[in-house]
Amino acid sequence: MYRKTRVLVTGGAGFLGSHLCERLLKEGYEVICLDNCFTGSKQNILHLHNDPNFEFLRHDITFPLYLEVDQIYNLACPASPIHYQFDPVQTTKTSVHGAINMLGLAKRVRAKIMQASTSEVYGDPEMHPQQESYWGNVNPIGMRSCYDEGKRCAETLFFDYKRQHNLRIKVARIFNTYGPRMHPNDGRVVSNFIVQALKNEPITVYGDGSQTRSFCYVDDLVEGFYRLMNVTDDAFSGPVNLGNPGEFTILQLANLVIEYTNSKSEIIYKPLPENDPRKRRPDITLAKEVLGWQPYTKLEQGLLKTITYFDKYLTQEEAAAQ
């Protein structure tokens, strides 16, 4: 009897996870969305609940889990500084204990498993753009270390499980991603700027705004996840950079957001946070060669879609408060 491929998405009610769940359902998979709703929101997946192939499970991956699945996308972890620094010990536990628990599950049921790693493993990079072969320049005891080093340790665990247990693993290093369903108060630069601009509040730029970032629209990133998990060469594990190689200064982004929102906001400057990377840009040569993947959404297109989402979100929030 034919059975649909059953996929577990941890962190599935979050920004990236909800878009991934949506994509997998469209592809005909049976999806188990797991989240403890610390930063994820049930609102992000409300529209999926009537799909017979969708199931939501409230669970914290720092505790073991027993399920029968064919694939696991491990996305669970607070990803913005405000959230991952709120409880840094729990952040490290989510990356490390969570990885151990999900790898243990994958080992028991022989599932293929993908780790959502991050460009933060490169730290404040001395190589530009960043290639997967670069080992990084990371402070192991700073305010950001709970996230940076937690993700680095998770990568170590994934490759040790591959070497020791012959597990089929995939590791994606995610660069700055944006789009609808971003948390409005998570402190990430795109959502911060858009919310401030729509409210005509001062736009906060840290440092002089000359630091650079590369912004990938969420649909492009999810396409990269899907291709990595289902790549023809199943022996390919990564790590592989997934991001948009277009590079912009933070000041450029601020001015674009002001322009696209017709905002009256002014730009104000505050001190740069500790260990904030000066440059961030992915080298995606490997993703192009092995996955046939590259992002197609221009920053202008993606920003306009994200602005439309936040405009609607803030309007509804204002109406609910009245």
**CA triplet 171, 141, 91: central angle to 5 degrees?**
50
- Of the candidates 147, 142, 143, the one whose C-alpha atom is nearest the C-alpha of residue 121 is 147
Residue 276's alpha-carbon distances to 78, 129, 152, 207, 309, in angstroms, are 17, 16, 17, 10, 28
Phi and psi at residue 117, in whole multiples of 5°? Answer: -90, -160
Please check whether residue 12 is in contact with residue 41, taking contact to mean a CB–CB distance below 8 angstroms: no
Quick one: tokens of 2? 């034919």
Strands 248-249 and 212-213, sheet pairing:
antiparallel
Tell me the β-bridge partners of 112: 71
End-to-end CA distance of the chain: 54
Q: Is 147 a catalytic residue?
A: yes
* Total residues belonging to the chain: 322
Candidates 29, 73, 147, 313; catalytic one: 147
Dihedral angle of Cα 150, 63, 228, 218, to the nearest 10 degrees: -80
For residue 195, the 8-state DSSP code is H
CA 71/CA 170 separation, integer angstroms? 11
DSSP assignments along 197-231, one per residue: HHTTPPEEEETTS--EE--EEHHHHHHHHHHHHT-
Residues taking part in catalysis: 147
